[in-house]
A and B are shown apart, each in its own frame.
Chain A
Amino acid sequence: MIALLLILVPLLSGLATFLLKKEEQVRTWSLLAAIITFIIAILGVAVYNAPACWTFKAQWMGLLNSSFSLKGDGMGILLCMLTAFSYPIIFLATWTTAYKKANNFFGLMLLTQAGMMGVFLAMDALLFYFFWELALIPIYFICSQWGGEKRIAVTFKFFVYTFLGSLLMLIGILYVYSKTAGNSFDITAFYTATLSPKEQAWLFWLFFVAFAVKMPIFPFHTWQPDTYQQAPTAGTMVLSALMVKMGVMGLLRWLLPVLPVASYSWGDTVSTMAVIGIVYASLIAMQQDDMKRLVAYSSIAHIGLMCVAVFAEDKSSIEGVLIQMFSHGINILGMWIVVEIIERKFGTTKISALGGIAQKAPALTFFFIIIAFANIALPLTNAFIGEFMMFNGILGSKVTQYGIPLMATAGLGVILGAVYTLKMGRRVFFGTTNALTEKGTDIAFHEKAILTIIIVTILVIGIYPQPLLNSVEEISQSILKHSDVLYLLKKH
């Protein structure tokens, strides 16, 4: 029931939002809807956490053997929590941002949320595909209607990339479907489909491209910096904090276990691509003069590391990815909130045009520094746990021989990450004030409250990650069991 509610509440409240007229009403209503969703998610974790509460199955397309099947496994619950947690924060953080036709904006935002929840919970390949696209369409409209100057072309590029990726995935889904016993779209049928290594080898790319575009992995990333820059900040938050997780989750749920042999044989290729992406994105991030683009490139680097860790197929690395998915969502959300505040206050995100904000806004600076530390994975912050486990897993990986070079190169990305993040902090917040930042004021109370929530989450997970670790243990073992090539070879 929880699983169904998490989709239905945003869906229905989103549709209702379109009918509202006054902007004030719309904001309150959608914030309320987001908070209700969050409460449902909390209840689902704390009270009704029996598997039965997180499972829902109904007839859908009987003739195709596709059912409306939802289930929250460890990964699904974690990502639903992240989504449910982020939405009220996003709404509050952009509370004072004015939107033309606010009802459409917030309606589409809630529809996106419904789509993402569906992606995280769907246990039927066709249903997964439906939600995958359902999440894309509203965000396309959000970014094209409310974004910056070049928004239409940029967003369309994003759309075409993802659309082509998902269509290729559709071919893959259909092919696997035709090879399952009794033709079913159910995830267990997919896990037991009989696919020869040769078939897996090309099917792998059909699936991988779809996920790689969403994440994004080098060289499928070219849409991302432009879109992040041009989209309205609330849209960027959704894209970077939540939507990229759809790709990572796709890898873990729909790629590794479905095509284990191919994931093993292509693993090094993909990891190499991801590592190139990490270094490449970090180097570009160092040259950026725009905060938005810098954060966007840093996100590519972080996601690249997750991708390497996924294909290391080690218990520690998979758990690390799962935790990092959550942590990265929180951290990048914090980053965007700071960027959005700066943009709203000073009208620019150009690093060279800013400086000395710390003198005028000490509270903002304080929050930024904590978030920046989390972004570079300093110990005691949430990202440290995830990154540490990922590196540990990559190093100890049994499926790749290149654990050490991969780790070393990816580690370079972390060092570069510290360089550009701190450099941005220094140039934006410290130094002397200029004409623009002279008039700056500190942040308002509600902004302080939101940022406090963010850094409390960062620190709590950083200091006491045990509950999170427990929650992902079972699912990571299940993923590894299904994708264990050696085990599968023995079985045949």
Chain B
Amino acid sequence: MNAVILSGLLGVVMLFASFLFQTKEPVRITAIAGTLLLLIANVLESKGIHFFSINTSGFLNFGYYSLFFNSIAIFATLIFFLISSKDMQKVGGHYAEYFALIFFILTGIFLVTSFTNLLMLFIGIEIISIPLYILTGAAKKDLKSNEAALKYFLMGSFSTGIMLMGITLIYGATGTFDIDKMNLVALEKSHLITAGLFMLLFSMCFKVSIAPFHFWTPDVYDGAPNVFTSFMATIVKVGIFIGFIHLFNTAFDKVTIQWKVWMAVMAALTLFIGNITAVFQQSVKRMLAYSSISQAGFMLFALVAMNATSYEGLIIYSLAYCLATIGVFGVISKMTDYSFEGFNGLAKHQPLVALCVTICMLSLAGIPLSAGFLAKFYMLKALIETGGYLWLVIFGVIMAAVSAYYYFRLIQAMYFKEGPNNFTQIAAGEKYVLVAICILIVFVGVFPNIIFNWLYF
């Protein structure tokens, strides 16, 4: 509860910050300090210290797992602020409001990861979505950004409608919104349940950009300002994934309706479309948009497998994927030309930055000694333990090999090709953050036990 209320309050504080402060520096410092506070409050809550005691009437349940994930989400946001908050100035004049919106999104994420009531899930998703529509269109004078926002809004509200319809149907069949109490197994013959389940499945898939509901993703990620793409492709996406697995594990795991097969097919389709399309991209930003689709396909393995390993796996996947993607976007925001050619020869002009991007890319590709390897490893392990989806496992690794093509293309551009310097200034602090990200990626890759010790003990 600490984090939900605090982040809501911080959002309001940031709204007023634009009146209070004349310059941008204090705004940024307030936001970063606020995030740090949020992180501390959330960690304290997971250790049993509650600042607020509010009766949620069983609508929300802050279990250790969701709190732990929330800590990761806040931590990732902190890193995101540290590396990208300066670049937010380039987007437009409403600097403080952007922070406010991001805090509101965080509130939504906390609701989505801890809901026990379908209404809370819906409200959480809406709290995430609406600020995201605004952030996507934040570059008001940029036509692409406007187009992306409109597209996102239309498609997003349509899918939210479907989700609401699904919730209603399930309510109609069971008479409750509470996913713990709905006892679907007894009622599963009802067509309402089947229809409701698939509506929920498809709308959740839309939110995390699973094919064939992914069409909005490349355009929106490409059109949105770089900094916000970084945020929505990482923290928002993995947050909704946690809600996704929570919903399907608690409510639908025991029903005999074959949704897992659908999910497996969609995972395969997502991997295929995401990876194959990413191969043909000329812009690194667009490549990352497709790569985020394919990574979502891998994360979907956790839902197909649905066992203890999937939960562990999603945690480590979230961390690995967020760190690497935020790192790369942090660099992209500082490039004047973010096509692959723009990165040519970066290793010569900015050796340290190039090294960091390389480590992030290796992590995304899933090379051992990086967190990304363990993330993929856990997904494969989960699926193999479940048994019966070996075809998906093999297809997954073939697609992982394809993904190496476009990740390494960036490495090749930076190291083995010559080109002019397209890199604008990077502040020393941001450089340290970038290095810290890489150290963390390698550290988690070598000693994943640290993470799991926190999770379990």
Contact = CB atoms under 8 A, between A and B. Distances in A.
B401 A156 contact: no
B381 A164 contact: no
A163 B412 contact: no
B415 A145 contact: yes
B448 interface: yes
Contacts of B405: 156, 160
The secondary-structure label for the interface of chain A is helix
B362 A137 contact: yes
B369 A134 contact: yes
A62 B449 contact: yes
A459 interface: no
A366 interface: no
Contacts of B393: 171
Nearest to A153: B412
A137 B416 contact: no
Interface string B56-85: 000000000000000000000000000000
Contacts of A141: 415
A159 interface: yes
Given A61-B449, A137-B362, A159-B404, A144 B416 contact: yes
Contacts of B390: 171, 175
Given A159-B404, A175-B384, A168 B397 contact: yes
B381 A163 contact: no
Contacts of A159: 404, 408
B20 interface: no
Contact of B367 (A133, A145, A160, A177): A133
B131 interface: no
B377 interface: yes
| Interface size range on A against B | 20 to 34
B368 A130 contact: yes
A177 B380 CA distance: 12
A156 B380 contact: no
Contact of B394 (A60, A62, A137, A168): A168
Interface residues of B, number: 27
Interface in A160-180: 160, 163-164, 167-168, 170-171, 174-175, 177-178
A163 B401 contact: yes
Given A130-B369, A133-B367, A134-B368, A160 B380 contact: no
A63 interface: yes
Contact of A171 (B373, B384, B449, B456): B384
A129 interface: yes
B415 A164 contact: no
B135 to A, nearest CB: 36
A178 B384 contact: yes
B412 A152 contact: yes
Interface in A118-168: 129-130, 133-134, 137, 141, 144-145, 151-152, 156, 159-160, 163-164, 167-168
Contact of B401 (A63, A133, A167): A167
Nearest to A126: B377
A209 B451 CA distance: 33
A181 to B, nearest CB: 15
B385 interface: yes
A144 B412 contact: yes
A231 B394 CA distance: 31
Contacts of A151: 416
A164 B398 contact: yes
Contacts of A163: 401, 404
Contacts of A133: 367-369, 373
A178 B373 CA distance: 19
Given A62-B449, A164-B398, A174 B380 contact: yes
Nearest to B382: A174
Nearest to B452: A63
A117 to B, nearest CB: 15
B368 A167 contact: no
Contacts of A178: 381, 384-385
Interface in B361-377: 362, 367-369, 373, 377
A61 B362 CA distance: 21
B400 interface: yes
A337 to B, nearest CB: 27
Contacts of A61: 448-449
A163 B367 CA distance: 9
A164 B394 contact: no
A145 B368 contact: no
A158 to B, nearest CB: 12
Given A61-B449, A62-B449, A156-B408, A170 B397 contact: yes
A196 to B, nearest CB: 13
Interface string B435-457: 00000000000001100100010
Task: Pick the most buried of B368, B385, B394: most chain A CB atoms within 10 A of its CB.
Answer: B368
A134 B404 CA distance: 15
Interface in A170-201: 170-171, 174-175, 177-178
A486 B456 CA distance: 46
A174 B384 contact: yes
Contact of B449 (A63, A156, A170): A63
A129 B368 contact: yes
A130 B362 CA distance: 14
Nearest to B348: A101
Interface string B388-420: 001001100110110011001000100110000
Contact of A160 (B394, B397, B404, B456): B404
Nearest to A156: B408
A145 to B, nearest CB: 6
A164 B397 contact: yes
A137 B367 contact: yes
B416 A164 contact: no
A167 B394 CA distance: 9
B416 A145 contact: yes
Given A134-B368, A171-B384, A152 B397 contact: no
A8 to B, nearest CB: 14
A117 B26 CA distance: 53
Contact of B377 (A144, A160, A170, A175): A170
B251 to A, nearest CB: 28
Interface string A56-71: 0000111100000000
A171 B397 contact: yes
Nearest to B400: A167
B359 to A, nearest CB: 11
Contacts of B377: 170, 174
Contacts of A130: 368-369
Contacts of B404: 159-160, 163
A152 B369 contact: no
A132 B380 CA distance: 18
B18 to A, nearest CB: 46
Contact of A170 (B362, B369, B380): B380
Contacts of B385: 178
27 contacts: A61-B448, A61-B449, A130-B369, A133-B367, A134-B368, A134-B369, A137-B362, A137-B367, A144-B415, A151-B416, A152-B416, A156-B408, A159-B404, A159-B408, A160-B404, A160-B405, A167-B398, A168-B397, A170-B380, A170-B397, A171-B384, A171-B397, A174-B384, A175-B384, A175-B390, A177-B381, A178-B381
Interface of B: 362, 367-369, 373, 377, 380-381, 384-385, 390, 393-394, 397-398, 400-401, 404-405, 408, 412, 415-416, 448-449, 452, 456
4 smallest CB-CB distances across A and B, nearest first, come from A167-B397, A164-B401, A133-B368, A130-B368
Given A60-B449, A133-B369, A168-B397, 19 more contacts: A61-B449, A63-B456, A141-B415, A144-B412, A144-B416, A145-B416, A159-B404, A160-B405, A163-B401, A164-B397, A167-B398, A167-B400, A171-B384, A171-B390, A171-B393, A171-B394, A174-B377, A174-B380, A175-B390
